[in-house]
Every structure is written in C-alpha cells, then in structure tokens.
Amino acid sequence: MAIEHTVVFRLVHEAGSPAEQDFLRTGRTVLAEIPGVEDFAVKRQVSPKSDLTWQFSMRFADRAAYDGYDAHPEHRGFVATRWSTEVAAFQEYDFAVD
C-alpha cells in the first residue's frame, strides 16, 4: 500500500524573504533526492483559514520506502539543522493511498 506523506507548516522567516526561499529550495533539493521519494511537491497555502502557509508532500510505494526515508541521514540532518530551528508550527499527515 502506498503512503502519501505531507507536512504543512509556517516558517519563522518573513514571507518572500531570501531566508524563506532558501529553506524551501533546500527542502526540495535535499528531500526529493532521498531514495523512495516520489512526486515531491512544495505548495503554498492560499486560504486565509489556515496560518500554516507551506506544504511539502511526497509519496512512497510502501511502508518500507517511507521508513527508509524517515531514517535516512539526509532527512534526519535536514530536520536537525533546518526544520527544528526555522519552522514555527506544523502538522504532519500520513495517508494510506488505495
């Protein structure tokens, strides 16, 4: 069974700032290249109903691919060095895809 992994988040950086763009670019570059990641996308929230302004989404063929991503050193490094200091708030969702 495939898994769709998505995180919606708000950054500490000012909207449109070079720091915001660097975070998004680095996330795209680092996370999308991890083995098992499919259909990586960065999306911007357009509704005023949520203060979480960005989304990273991706798919995995199965649980093993997802677990490999979660344990991968590049993912862990991104979380430790960028995510933990630059993300002000987030929600994470993992859905089984039928």
Residue 55 to residue 69: CA distance in whole angstroms? 17
Domain count, the chain: 1
- Answer yes or no: is 35 within a domain: yes
Domain harbouring 33, CATH code: 3.30.70.100
Residues above pLDDT 70, as percent of the chain: 100
The pLDDT of residue 84 is 97
Assess contact for 75 and 92: CB atoms under 8 A.
no
pLDDT of 21 reads 98
Percent of the chain with pLDDT over 90: 99
| Distance between CA atoms of residues 52 and 74, nearest Å | 24
What are the residue ranges in the chain where pLDDT is below 50?
none
Write the CB contacts of 67 (distance below 8 Å, at least 6 apart in sequence). Answer: none
Say what the pLDDT of residue 98 is. Answer: 82
